[in-house]
Amino acid sequence: MIHTMEKALAKLRQEKPLILNLTNLVTMDFIANCLLALGASPIMSICEAEIEELVRMSSAIYINMGTLDEAFISLSEKAIQFSEKYHKPIVLDPVGAGATRIRTQTAKMIAPFADMIRGNATEILALGGEACETKGVESTHQTDSAKESANRLACHYQSTVIVSGSIDFVTDGRRTSQIAHGSALMQGVTGMGCALTAVTAAFKAVVDDPFEAGLVSAYYFALCGEVAGLHHNNLGSFKSAFLDQLYNPDFECMKERVDKSTVL
């Protein structure tokens, strides 16, 4: 997997894909910085009048429902319309699905058009139609509880679904994989999940197979966090170190971590 990540990252940095982000206002800065560190070119928009032009020039469209209102829903509908016209992939982050009726309905409206969906276990369960208690946008479930729902969603929508958590699960309904890497500190940084979905969109822009793009994204993101957490135990320094890993990954250390986990 390390060699696959290196190849995908090299291709991404050579092509510098433009990623259109229709995303929440809370984590927009962090998402943009993560994409820049990765080597992609982020652009954010809340303007419906420019959406066709931006979709046409973008390599992938990332839709994040974090700060939801009627204008955002309309903007997403336009993005879907033009992504179909120009054959551009959509990566969905169903933030807070299950927390409110409008979030769940909006997620279910966008999901059929998404090539890839990345959410926490609670969001994936809600998207799959399962009733569950939530705490806003925070997951109250573990990855294992959402595997079956993720598989069903992947088959139903013919998409790749990533369930993120302390263990990540990637499925396209036929192939599945688990990624048991990362750092506990990642849970303390606002926007980590949002950033993972953005990174997924960037890799999808250069990796044709959505399942392979999901695997590369989840492994790379988790290992960057794991390596950053080895020497940085406070949230502020960890966040900076994580961005540094996205930008200048220590692949040797990553390989050691993967080899160690395989032996264990």
**Across 206-235, average pLDDT:** 97
Closest residue by Cα to residue 199 from 23, 25, 3, 47 = 23
Q: What percent of the chain has pLDDT over 90?
A: 90
| pLDDT on residue 20 | 98
Distances (CA, A) of 239 to 34, 112, 187, 248, 264: 10, 34, 11, 14, 28
> Would you say residue 140 has pLDDT above 70?
no
Question: pLDDT tens digits, residue range 81-99?
Answer: 999 999 999 999 999 999 9
Q: Rounded CA gap, 73 and 57, in Å? A: 21
Residues 6+ apart with CB under 8 A from 34: 195, 198, 199, 243, 246
Task: Give the separation between CA 182 and CA 227, rounded to whole angstroms.
Answer: 8
Distance, in Å, from the CA atom of 222 to the CA atom of 72, rounded to the nearest integer, reads 30
Q: What is the CATH number of domain 2-223?
A: 3.40.1190.20
Residue-wise pLDDT for 98-133, tens only, equals 999 999 999 999 999 999 999 999 999 999 986 555
Domain layout of the chain by residue ranges:
2-223
Res 260: pLDDT: 81
Six token digits for residue 171: 């499925």
Query: Which range has the worst mean pLDDT, 44-53, 76-85, 140-149?
Result: 140-149
